[in-house]
Each structure stands twice: as C-alpha cells, then as structure tokens.
Amino acid sequence: MKKINAFQLYCMLLVMIMPVNFLIIPKVLTSYLGNNAWLAIITSLVPGTLIIYIYYSIIKKSLQPFPLLLEEHLGRIPGKTLGFIYVFFFILTSSFTLRIFVEFIESNVLPGTPISIFIGVMLITAFTGIKSGLVSMARMAELITYVGVPFTFLMMALTLTHNPDFGNLKPFAYMSYKAFADALAFATMPLLNMLPVLTLFHYFQRENSFKPMFQVLLSYIVLVGLITISTVVALGGQNSSLFTFPAFVAIRLVSIGDFIQNIDIVFIGIWIMGIFGVLSIWWFMACYTIQQVFNLHDYRFLAAPTALIIGVTSILLSPNILELNLLAKGVLPAVYYFFLLFIPLVVFVITLFKAPVQHQPEYPGSENPVSTAE
C-alpha cells in the first residue's frame, strides 16, 4: 500500500490551516484586541499543543481511520450516526472555503463577475484533484508549501519595511480578559483543521504523526503571528479591524524601489493555489466519509454529486460578505469546536481506558484512497 511521507503530511495539514485564515484571522483578532492581536496567536501554543495531544492519543489507540474509529470507540450505531452527520459538516466547511474564495476574488480581483463562474471554475479544479487520488493531493500540498511559505515570509518582510509604524503595537497588553479569551478561542480554532490527520495517519507511520502536527503548530504561530504583526504595523490595530481582508490591504501597499508594484497579483495566484488545496482535502473528507459510512466500493465517484451540493450551499451561506463575516465570527466557531474538538475529546476520554494499538491493519475498504486514478 502506498503511503504519504512525513513532509507530505506536514504540507497537507499546513495547507488546511493557512490560506483561509491568512485573510480572516487578522481582522477578527484586531476587532477583539486591536494592536495586541498578535498576543493571542502566541498564546495559542498552549491549547494547540493540547489539541495535538488529543488527536495523537486517538491515533495511538485506534485500529481504523476516521470515520470508522467512531464506530470502533463509540459503537456501531452511534458511530455511523455521527459519521453521517460529519458528512454534512465536511460539506459545510467545503462550502465556506469556496465562499471565502468567491467573495475575495469578486471584491478584490474581478468585481462584477457572476459568482457562478468563480464557483464553477474552483469546483472543476478541485474535482480533478479528488479524482486523481490522495497521493496527487499530497504532492499538490508539497508544491503549495514550497511556493507559499517563502513568499509569505517575503511579503510580510516587505510589509514591515514599507513605511512601518511600530508605535501601532502600543500600548502593550492593554485589553480585557474577556476580549483576550475570545481572541484566543478564535486564534486556536484554525488548529482544529488538523482533524483530517485522523484519516491520513492510516497511510502514514502512526508513531511518527506527532512531529508533523507539532511542526504545523509552530509554523502556524510564526506565519500568522508575522502576518498579524505586519498588518498592525502597516495599518494600525483599529484600522485593521475595519477592513474585510486587512492582510491583503497591507500587501497592496508594498512596492519595491517605487517601480515594482502590484505584487498583490502574485499573492492572489499563490493564495488561489492554497484555496484549491483546502477545498480538495475537505471535499475528500466528505466523499471518503460517505464511502465508509455506507460501505461503498470507492469514494471518487461521489465527487460529482457532492459538487452540486457544495456549490449551492456556498451561495446559500449568506447574501453578502458582511453577513458572511458575522457568520464566520459568530456561528461557525461553535460548529467547528463541536465537531473538531468536543467529539474528538469524547473519543479521547474513551481511549484513555484502552491500550495502544501494536500494529496497523490493512485498509478496510476494497478501494485504496491513496492510489491514484488510472
């Protein structure tokens, strides 16, 4: 059976976390903490480590990948019921990712273009990724990481050097406890996107899965922390909270020697690659969960019917970008914490009374999702 390596696992998990939150996190955190938004990112190291420990403990005590591990630990009927409900959650996350892409492109790149065109183009590309198999998606994540991470560092470094006002970082730690708690909860939420590791570990050496997850946590803190600091330095904490995508606004201010401008076009191209990766993996999780819950032969043929559901749901999420921001800040965090933390926490408590798995069984289905499509 073909397997993904440690770096591919790291890349896939990093892609799950970074592209969407690159745009969302700075706005939300500055709305809570203003110039101290970056403190919530650094503090997320503690809850992030606990999340990784929960996922890693489940991996060590599970014979089957997600969603079959729900049946393994909770029983057949509760496990299948939860697995069925998770299908709708994965479709929701796929639709939200697609809608963020649509709103960003429509408002910043091609205003006035019908959103159905953006939705159709992204669904077709992600559909191709799912049909090609998990190995292809892992290689795609490698490419996105190789290109995206260095460029992110470059853009943030240029932002910090372009008319910086480090006085925007003051006053230090001037905030309420409630605002900090809310910001910390939101800063921790992207780390819950590592849930697919509960499926991917079955195609990786389970005993080595902790290290890639912790590397993703450190990468998240460094990258998003740098993004948030550079945004606050460039725009100010209060002003950053007023923009829909403040990190992108900060990047638009960058110019090199007053003759190299419009660097944001390069950012948009790389960001679209990242959104393609996020959408493909969440969509894969939806199709794979359907396959396992209903004991189907393959998952790839499910990409076509679920594409219509994801596309329609992305349109129905909200009528405009303002309500989408309210949804992202108010309703979605509760949904994410329930499915990505509360239920895994229940499984984690149950696994405390079980011995670690000593061997890794063969893939339970007749069609290996790691293999590429012929």
Domain spans of the chain, in order of start:
6-351
Residue 365 — pLDDT band, cuts 50, 70, 90? very low
What would the pLDDT profile of 279-313 be if each residue is shown by its tens digit? 999 999 999 999 999 999 889 899 999 999 999 99
Q: Cα 22 to chain center, whole Å? A: 10
Q: Which residues contact 81 (CB under 8 A, 6 or more apart)?
A: none
Give yes or no for a cis peptide into 67 (omega within 30° of 0).
Answer: yes
Round to whole Å and give the CA distance between 338 and 178: 21
pLDDT number for residue 206: 67
% of the chain with per-residue pLDDT over 90 = 45
Residue 373 — pLDDT band, cuts 50, 70, 90? very low
DSSP letter at 341 equals I
CB 202, CB 363: distance < 8 Å? yes
pLDDT > 50? residue 184: yes
Give yes or no for a cis peptide into 26 (omega within 30° of 0).
Answer: no
Residue 68 — pLDDT band, cuts 50, 70, 90? very high
pLDDT number for residue 2: 52
pLDDT number for residue 1: 43
pLDDT > 50? residue 352: yes
pLDDT number for residue 51: 95
Q: Which residues contact 208 (CB under 8 A, 6 or more apart)?
A: 6
Please tell me the CATH superfamily of domain 6-351, with its number: Amino acid/polyamine transporter I (1.20.1740.10)
CB 189, CB 337: distance < 8 Å? yes
CB 243, CB 104: distance < 8 Å? no
Higher pLDDT, residue 165 or 93: 93
User: What six digits make up the tokens of 359?
Assistant: 């061997």
